[in-house]
């Protein structure tokens, strides 16, 4: 079998698993000059490059060519700092890389990439399919600025049928797949998962309670009374009958809904013929539950058991990709994506890159319906099939119901792009208004807003939110637990100094040249002259004298609309009451405040659930649970005698002595004396 994604990634660090012909080569013969590119989306409308840096990049690539063979593989272009500029795959590495030595035949975006290239790396693979899988994985993990990028920081919810228990449960799951069991999905939203789970509970009567609740029950719960659970906790169903229900749910979620429906229909008719009308009614209700979850509002979705429908729309140099999910014959929702790419990228190229990155960390379905043919469609289909461990078919409907469905998805992609472009235009206009109102030289491309939250100095946290031309950049938001032990409780100025020192100090270390887009164009601090003075002191201490910084303070009665703005070297001022820029800055300030309060509450909640047992070295989750189960509370543990502690299962004599000494230090001192 071909290596999986993890094995392919391990090739980068010389951990080949059974493929001795695989190797990695590095060449860095020239530390060349780079060409700064300020924006993410590069186009050919910008000025041409100077000859020297372009020639330097070509020289690096020419030196690297001497080490290349004719095998398939993946290559990476590196900047002078070692950052990955571009990841590409090739059926023949030498033939593909040699094209970069003729930059006059390349678009300006690729010329810029060549000019910044100061080194290259290559990983050879056995087949082009392996190269495509590795390329998608690396692009997803490294995010090279010259590749087409799917910026997706959201996870999809799934349905999980657990394993490792005699009575499996069916639950909603989001995040890393750390629990044993089978995962089904994805679902576009939690609402779609909840709707499907409710139908599954009615149709298959599987338990949804946790293992601890299950083991503690002796009588059926309410779910049994309303016919949404078979009550295995109270032995109201045999193990064999429950296994049949689990297999039915598994088959239904795997796309065998028709077989399940036929089976239930046959059982309902047999029960009716035998005059077992209550049993027949039970099967009828289960059939209705399945019909409810399978009812799809999408025309043309009939017959789609396990499929994704993907449509791409391009306009104004931007792209929207809309994905509709169908699982077990039901519509599980949809989501729009907006890949980042250069203006010269073709739709077929974008579609191929999207499919590779979208399915890099999620299993592909059996069928994928597309509104256009991606570049190298056969290789893409083969790579997806290899990843999924089953055949994945790419379909391009030309007529009939499926063509109407794909046209409907394409219309959604077009509408999503129109909304995004309208929102983006509004945001850019507001940013220009901010520049005018605050006297900035240009519209800020990144605004960072800071706020603190605490209760009389306890559980103090700082928060930073980020906004740019595309809206709120939530993936860049950061939380700061206040570490200083010398601050006076409730010292907002000191907390602001610590947060800004940590944030800007790290930026100086990680992005000293300010060419990675991580530096703010405007810093907005929640507060008046005091917070602004603290922030300016940090800038002076770090030697930063070119960042715009503004304080925003509520009015005399803390009412919105009467905010005053504080700018260095300028008298405090107010904006007109109905000024859109005022509303915009208020929204940013309020969002930072909400984020800071939410972070503080979460930290405070964690502190409330901590026990005095957590202070004892060697007491982990298992021993803590055993102690609390045995004694009932942490206070009872603290008051227990040594002999009582030794009687707890899992607590050794040594650990019992340590616990007793921790809560009774006076007895330990007497014993020591």
The three-state (H, E, C) secondary structure of 43-55, written as one string? CCCCCCCCHHHHH
For residue 21, the 8-state DSSP code is T
Lowest mean pLDDT among 467-476, 482-491, 600-609: 600-609
C-alpha to C-alpha distance for 411 and 330, rounded to whole angstroms? 21
The two three-digit tokens of residue 130, written as one number = 């392996």
Task: Tell how strand 181-184 and strand 158-162 pair up.
Answer: antiparallel
3-state helix, strand, coil in the chain (%, to 5): 45, 20, 35
CA 86 from chain centre, in angstroms, equals: 22
Residue 394 confidence (pLDDT) above 60:
yes
pLDDT in the model for residue 256: 67
- Domain 447-607 -> CATH class: alpha beta
More confident residue, 422 or 579: 579
Confidence of residue 628 (pLDDT cuts 50, 70, 90): confident
Burial string for 534-558 (b: 16+ CB within 10 Å, else e) reads bbbebbeeeebeebbbbbbbbeeee
- Mean pLDDT, range 1-19, rounded to an integer: 38
In tens, the pLDDT along 214-269 reads 888 888 888 888 888 888 888 888 888 888 888 888 877 776 666 777 777 887 88
Q: What is the pLDDT of residues 176-199, one digit of tens each?
A: 777 888 887 777 777 777 777 877
3-state secondary structure string across 256-278: CHHHHHHHHHHHHHHHHHCCCHH
CA–CA separation, 641 and 629 (whole Å): 16
Give the CATH fold of the 306-417 domain: Nucleotidyltransferase; domain 5 (3.30.420)
Q: Is the pLDDT confidence value at 156 over 60?
A: yes
Please choose, from the candidates 68, 84, 80, the residue with its C-alpha nearest in 3D space to the C-alpha of residue 137. Answer: 84
Tokens of 38: 């300020």
Q: Where are the alpha helices (H) located in 236-376, listed in sequence order?
A: 239-253, 257-273, 277-294, 347-358
Q: Where are the alpha helices (DSSP H) in 66-189?
A: 93-97, 108-116, 128-142
pLDDT at 446 over 90: yes
pLDDT of residue 253: 75
- Mean pLDDT computed over 313-341: 84
Domains 306-417 and 447-607 belong to one CATH topology: yes
pLDDT digits (tens, 9 = 90+) for 502-511: 999 998 888 8
Instruction: Give pLDDT tens digits for 61-83.
Output: 888 888 888 889 999 999 888 88
| pLDDT beyond 80 at 459 | no
Q: Are strands 119-124 and 24-27 parallel, antiparallel or unpaired?
A: antiparallel
Q: Are 447 and 466 in contact (CB under 8 A)?
A: yes
Average pLDDT estimate for 598-618: 70
Average pLDDT, the chain: 80
Q: How far is CA 27 from the centre of its chain?
A: 34
Tokens for 28, please give them: 């860095």
Indicate if the pLDDT at residue 551 is higher than 70.
yes
CA 383, CA 380: separation in Å to the nearest integer?
5
What's the distance, Cα to Cα, between the start and end of the chain in Å? 68
CA distance 288 to 286: 5
Q: Is the pLDDT at 23 greater than 80, yes or no?
A: no
- Does a cis peptide bond (omega within 30 degrees of 0) precede residue 540? no
Mean pLDDT, residues 503-528 taken together: 87
pLDDT given at position 41: 38
Instruction: Report the C-alpha gap between 264 and 271 in whole angstroms.
Output: 10
Helices (H) and strands (E) in the chain, counts: 22, 20
Q: What is the pLDDT of residue 3?
A: 42
Instruction: Give dist(CA 424, CA 534) in Å, integer.
Output: 33
Under CATH, which number does the domain 5-142 receive?
3.40.1440.10
Q: Distance between CA atoms of 531 and 441, rounded to whole angstroms?
A: 23
Which pLDDT value is given to residue 558? 56
Architecture of domain 612-672: Orthogonal Bundle (1.10)
Residue with tokens 């001497």: 66
Residue 153 pLDDT grade (very low, low, confident, very high; cuts 50, 70, 90):
low
Write down the pLDDT at residue 646. 85
pLDDT tier for residue 162 given thresholds of 50, 70 and 90: confident
Question: Looking at residue 347, what is its pLDDT?
Answer: 92
pLDDT tens readout for residues 554-565: 866 555 567 889
Examine the pLDDT at 300 and tell me if it is beyond 80: no
In this predicted structure, what is the pLDDT of residue 668?
A: 57
Q: Are 32 and 51 in contact (CB under 8 A)?
A: no
Tell me the two tokens of residue 266.
Answer: 């046959």
Neighbours of 653 (CB within 10 A): 10
Answer whether 147's CB lies under 8 Å from 398's CB: no
Q: How many CB atoms lie within 10 A of CB 82?
A: 10
For 50-59, 127-136, 617-626, which range has the lowest pLDDT when averaged over its residues?
Answer: 50-59
Q: For residues 404-417, give the mean pLDDT.
A: 90
| Residue 124 pLDDT > 60 | yes
Evaluate if residue 49 carries a pLDDT over 60.
no
In percent, the amount of the chain with pLDDT more than 90 equals 19
- Cα 84 to chain center, whole Å? 21
Report how far Cα 403 is from the mean position of its chain's Cα atoms: 32
Q: Judging by beta carbons within 10 Å of its beta carbon (0-12, 13-18, 19+), is residue 673 exposed, middle or buried?
A: exposed
Buried b (16+ CB within 10 A) or exposed e, 410-426: bebbbebbeebeeebee
**pLDDT at position 620, please?**
77
pLDDT for res 295: 53
Annotated domain spans of the chain: 5-142, 158-294, 306-417, 447-607, 612-672
Q: Is residue 654 very low, low, confident or very high in pLDDT (cuts 50, 70, 90)? A: confident
pLDDT > 70 fraction of the chain, expressed in percent and rounded: 85
pTM of the predicted structure, to 2 decimals: 0.63
Closest CA to 469 of 635, 282, 318: 318
Strand partners of residue 330: 327
Distance CA 120, CA 86 (A): 10
Q: Which of 324-338, 434-448, 480-494 has the highest mean pLDDT?
A: 434-448
Report d(CA 495, CA 156) in Å as an integer. Answer: 36
* Phi, psi dihedral angles at 338 (to 5 degrees): -130, 85
**Chain Cα centroid distance, residue 418:** 24
Question: HSE-up of 108 (CA within 13 Å, CB side)?
Answer: 14
Name the least confident of 55-59, 123-127, 509-513.
509-513
Q: Which residues contact 469 (CB under 8 A, 6 or more apart)?
A: 424, 427, 428, 431, 445
Computed on alpha carbons and rounded to an integer, the radius of gyration of the chain in Å comes to: 31
Give the Cα separation of 397 and 214 in Å (integer). Answer: 48
The pLDDT of residue 31: 33
Q: Among 440-444, 515-519, 584-588, whose mean pLDDT is lowest?
A: 515-519
Distance CA 271, CA 285 (A): 14
Residue 395, pLDDT above cutoff 80: yes
């Amino acid at each position: 079998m071909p290596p999986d994604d993890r094995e392919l990634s391990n090739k980068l660090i010389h951990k080949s698993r059974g493929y001795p012909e695989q190797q990695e080569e590095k060449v860095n013969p020239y530390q060349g000059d780079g060409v700064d590119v300020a924006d993410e989306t590069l186009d050919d409308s910008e000025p041409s490059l100077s000859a020297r840096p372009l020639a330097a990049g070509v020289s690096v690539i020419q030196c690297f060519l001497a080490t290349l063979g004719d095998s398939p593989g993946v290559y990476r272009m590196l900047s002078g700092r070692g950052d990955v500029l571009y990841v590409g795959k090739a059926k023949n590495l030498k033939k593909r890389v040699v094209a970069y030595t003729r930059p006059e035949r390349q678009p300006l975006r690729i010329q810029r990439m060549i000019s910044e290239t100061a080194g290259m790396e290559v990983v050879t693979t056995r087949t082009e399919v392996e190269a495509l899988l590795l390329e998608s994985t690396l692009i997803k993990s490294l995010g090279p600025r010259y590749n087409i990028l799917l910026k997706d920081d959201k996870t999809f919810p799934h349905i999980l049928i657990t394993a490792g228990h005699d009575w499996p449960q069916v639950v909603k799951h989001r995040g890393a797949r750390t629990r044993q069991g089978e995962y089904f999905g994805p679902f576009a939203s939690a609402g779609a998962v909840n709707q499907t789970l409710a139908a599954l509970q009615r149709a298959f009567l599987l338990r949804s309670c946790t293992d601890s609740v299950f083991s503690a029950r002796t009588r059926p719960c309410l779910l049994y009374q309303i016919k949404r659970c078979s009550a295995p906790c109270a032995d109201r169903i045999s193990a064999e009958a429950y296994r049949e229900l689990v297999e039915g749910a598994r088959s239904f979620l795997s796309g065998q809904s028709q077989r399940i429906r036929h089976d239930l229909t046959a059982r309902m008719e047999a029960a009716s013929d035998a005059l077992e009308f209550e049993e027949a009614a039970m099967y009828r209700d289960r059939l209705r539950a399945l019909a409810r979850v399978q009812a799809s509002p999408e025309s043309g979705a009939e017959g789609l058991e396990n499929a994704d429908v993907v449509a791409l729309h391009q306009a104004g140099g931007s792209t929207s990709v809309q994905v509709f999910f169908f699982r077990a014959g039901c519509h599980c929702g949809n989501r729009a994506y907006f890949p980042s790419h250069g203006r010269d990228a073709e739709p077929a190229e974008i579609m191929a890159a999207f499919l590779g990155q979208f399915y890099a960390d999620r299993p592909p379905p059996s069928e994928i319906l597309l509104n256009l043919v991606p570049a190298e469609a056969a290789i893409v289909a083969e790579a997806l099939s290899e990843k999924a461990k089953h055949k994945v078919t790419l379909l391009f409907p030309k007529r009939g119901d499926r063509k109407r469905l794909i046209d409907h998805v394409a219309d959604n992609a077009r509408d999503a792009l129109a909304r995004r472009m309208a929102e983006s235009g509004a945001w850019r206009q507001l940013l220009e208004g901010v520049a005018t109102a605050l006297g900035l030289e240009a519209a800020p491309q990144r605004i960072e807003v800071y706020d603190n939250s605490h209760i009389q100095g306890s559980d103090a946290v700082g928060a930073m939110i980020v906004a740019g031309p595309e809206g709120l950049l939530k993936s860049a938001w950061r939380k700061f637990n206040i570490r200083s032990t010398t601050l006076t409780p409730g010292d907002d100025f000191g907390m602001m100094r610590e947060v800004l020192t940590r944030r800007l100090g790290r930026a100086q270390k990680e992005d000293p040249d300010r060419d990675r887009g991580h530096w703010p164009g405007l810093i907005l601090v929640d507060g008046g002259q005091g917070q602004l003075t603290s922030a300016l002191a940090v800038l002076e201490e770090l030697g930063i004298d070119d960042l715009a910084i503004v304080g925003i303070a509520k009015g005399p009665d803390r009412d919105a609309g009467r905010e005053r703005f504080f700018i260095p070297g300028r008298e405090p001022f107010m904006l007109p009451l109905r000024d859109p820029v005022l509303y915009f800055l208020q929204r940013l300030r309020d969002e930072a405040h909400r984020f800071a309060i939410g972070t503080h509450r979460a930290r405070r909640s964690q502190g409330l659930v901590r026990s005095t047992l957590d202070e004892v070295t060697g007491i982990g989750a298992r021993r803590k649970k055993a102690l609390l189960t045995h004694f009932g509370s942490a206070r009872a543990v603290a008051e227990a005698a040594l002999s009582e502690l030794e009687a707890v299962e899992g607590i050794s004599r040594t650990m019992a002595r340590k616990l007793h000494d921790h809560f009774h230090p006076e007895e330990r001192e007497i014993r020591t004396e």
